[in-house]
Amino acid sequence: MAAGGRIAGPAEFESAFQQHFPSIYLFISRRVGTALAEDLAAETFATAYRRRASFDPERGSLRSWLYGIATNLVRNHWRAEQHLLALDARLLPEIDTSDSSDAADQRVIAALLAPRLAAALGLLTRDQRDVLLLHAWAELSHEEIAAVLEIAPGTARSRLSRARAALREQLGDFDFDLWMFDGPKADPARGRQQHRD
Amino acid sequence: MTDEIEVLRLFRDDMPGPSTDAWTRARSAIAVARAEEERAGQQYSRGPGRQGPARRKLFSMAAGVTMAAAVAAAGLLAALLPNSPVTGGHGRAAGVQQIRTTAYVITRVEHALSLSGSNNELGYARTVYPPGTIAEPAANVVHVLLEPGASSPWSVGSTVRWSYQGRMSLSAFSPTGQRVFARGITPGHGKQTTVVVIYRDATWWRAAGGAVPEQNEPAPPGCGPDVTIGPGGWPAFIREELSCGEYAADGRQRVDGVDAIKITGDKGLDTLWVDPATYLPVRAIFTFGRLRTQTGFRWLPPTPANLARLSVRVPAGFRQVPPPP
């Protein structure tokens, strides 16, 4: 019922909350950190409750409507997001790159990539980052992203294309086929990992 | 063929889902919004051409009964106990949770812990150890000891443990944050399988057994000299601690984003903070001799992402070795 229909009734809203809260929370959490995420995820659904009469499934999915609210709230915390990305960019991966070529565990690769990705995301414009992360992390379609950001689908598509190109450029020495950084460009000074709780 | 989007998703998947506290906060925020709306006497409509439904209680449906019940119980408690020696309050506003006696708090905590295994919640616990702590995985147990100044490949600074319905994973990290080992336990047909991955030398081993204690990760000793965490995991361990010492509710303190009830004790469980909405632990400090540890807890829904944390993955290229004796 709440997956695509209206959410004016308590049961529908509760159903929507149950269904979408985890993914909305994770999206916010990844962007601004867990401490702020609890407040913003709560505020997302409080705002959704207050505005539930304005949700029109004919203009977009419930999911995209909720992500729109969340994205607007996250935008108010741009500095917190930038700070988190800056911290992530300074993290050090856990394994020497010389030891990791055989250990093609995705988590190891993710650990190696995390600081580079954070640095790359930190360099994107606000609009580029929104569209990229709505696509990658929220897994919204171009049409849904357009509804979230209240832009034309074509604009969403071109903005996403530019964001992807910018990110790829930042990860220039990463081989997406082999899942490794090309030779000496990988930072050999990185040897350990710090954890953010 | 992968691309930057898949890489980003890998980055995303490394996050834990919302905690019990996050769910509770969101429900509270919605309840506030609803109360504001009711106070304002607003009538919402379902949009053009539609008629609004009769107003009902938001949390009256079966879905989310666990948290709704907890919130409702907390509200009832506040109504019954307006003057709390814990908070030192006098005539607090309705909705503020106040507790009258230590006995009541301890009873609620023990009850919450006893139900935690059947509440379909996934437990997360991160323990921080003092310098000099050594944790070495053996076939059926992880030995933990404190040897200040000693240099050991098994030096640990922290562990992270995930558990759910008999499954458990434990990751141990060095004081500088490097992975030391990961240990996973999977039950099945009366037996359980233990897998340990040792990152230092890129090896791993597997041990199968029947009468092996299920959860015996590095853990702070308790009120006895050789206390280990048994098959009941952290909930049972804390209940044992509460039963073997004297404890007192000691006011409220904001811990990990929760306005938690603080409980202090005179035994191994030095201080315990519990969530007033669920009475489940938020943080605990254990002291036994020189070993003083701090553990943070989260109680999470068993989402696919959270359940994935229970698996210990052997990285490609790691060499299998026999389990230690």
Statement to judge: residues A47 and A119 lie in one domain: no
Please indicate whether residue A151 or residue B256 has the higher confidence score (pLDDT): A151
Statement to judge: residues A97 and A194 lie in one domain: yes
User: Count of domains in chain B?
Assistant: 1
Sign of CA dihedral B102, B103, B105, B109: positive
Residue A188 has pLDDT above 70, yes or no: no
Q: Is residue B283 part of a domain?
A: yes
Statement to judge: residues A153 and A122 lie in one domain: yes
3-state secondary structure of B32: helix
Assign residue B137 the CATH number of its domain. Answer: 2.50.20
Residue A196 sits at the chain B interface (C-beta within 8 Å): no
Quick check: B315 and A11 CB within 8 A? no
pTM comes to: 0.45
Statement to judge: residues A105 and A118 lie in one domain: yes
**Residue B239 has which token pair?**
């209940």
From first CA to last CA, the distance across chain A in angstroms is 36
Q: Which chain A residues contact residue B317 at CB under 8 A?
A: 102-104
Confidence category of residue A171, pLDDT binned at 50, 70, 90? confident
Distance from CA of B120 to the nearest CA of A (A): 15
Quick one: which H or E segment has residue B24?
helix B20-40
Q: Give percent of chain A with pLDDT exceeding 70.
A: 75
Statement to judge: residues A71 and A114 lie in one domain: no
- Give CA torsion, residues A165, A119, A73, A110, to 10 deg: 90
For chain B, residues with pLDDT lower than 70 are 1-2, 11-15, 39-101, 117-119, 189-190, 209-231
Range of the domain at B201: 122-320
Statement to judge: residues A104 and A175 lie in one domain: yes
User: Count of domains in chain A?
Assistant: 2
From first CA to last CA, the distance across chain B in angstroms is 44
Inter-chain Cβ pairs, chain A and chain B, closer than 8 A: 181
Average pLDDT in the A142-170 region? 90
Statement to judge: residues A31 and A10 lie in one domain: yes
Quick check: B22 and A38 CB within 8 A? yes
Assign residue A5 the CATH number of its domain. Answer: 1.10.1740.10
pLDDT at B244: 73
Domain end, chosen from A52, A76, A100, is at A76
Assign residue A150 the CATH number of its domain. Answer: 1.10.10.10
> What is the tens place of the pLDDT at every residue in B169-193?
999 988 888 889 999 988 876 678 8
3-state secondary structure of B198: strand
Pick the residue from chain B with its C-alpha nearest to A105.
B315
Average pLDDT in the A100-124 region? 68
pLDDT at A195: 28
Q: What ipTM is given for this predicted complex?
A: 0.78
Distance from CA of A70 to the nearest CA of B (A): 13
For residues A62 and A60, give the distance between their C-alpha atoms in angstroms, rounded to a whole number: 7
Residue A96 has pLDDT above 60, yes or no: no
Q: Is residue B73 part of a domain?
A: no
Buried residues in B156-187 as b, exposed as e (16+ CB within 10 A) = bbbbbbbbbebbbbbbbbbbeebbbbbbbbbe
Q: Is residue B293 part of a domain?
A: yes
Residue A161 has pLDDT above 50, yes or no: yes
Residue B51 sits at the chain A interface (C-beta within 8 Å): no
Sign of CA dihedral B200, B124, B99, A46: positive
pLDDT at A140: 92
A183 DSSP assignment: G
Statement to judge: residues A72 and A83 lie in one domain: no
Number of Cα atoms under 13 Å in the Cβ half of residue B62: 0
- Tell me which amino acid residue B275 is: D
Q: Is residue B32 part of a domain?
A: no
Residue B242 dihedral angles phi and psi, to the nearest 5°: -65, -30
Interface test with A, best of B2, B4, B42, B313 (most A CBs within 10 A): B4
Statement to judge: residues A55 and A68 lie in one domain: yes
Confidence category of residue A65, pLDDT binned at 50, 70, 90? very high
For residues B317 and A103, give the distance between their C-alpha atoms in angstroms, rounded to a whole number: 5
For residues A31 and A49, give the distance between their C-alpha atoms in angstroms, rounded to a whole number: 23
Statement to judge: residues A95 and A162 lie in one domain: yes
Q: Is residue B132 part of a domain?
A: yes
Range of the domain at A148: 78-197
Q: For chain A, where are the alpha helices, taking DSSP H only?
A: 10-32, 34-50, 62-75, 78-90, 97-100, 106-123, 126-136, 142-149, 153-170
pLDDT at B57: 24
Quick check: A195 and B173 CB within 8 A? yes
Residue B5 sits at the chain A interface (C-beta within 8 Å): yes
Statement to judge: residues A143 and A163 lie in one domain: yes
**Residue among B194, B196, B272, B261 nearest B237 (CA):** B272
**Contacts of residue B131, Cβ cutoff 8 Å, sequence gap at least 6:** B148, B157, B175
Domain end, chosen from A76, A106, A125, is at A76
Q: Is B166 left (phi over 0), alpha (psi -120 to 50) or beta?
A: left
Statement to judge: residues A68 and A131 lie in one domain: no
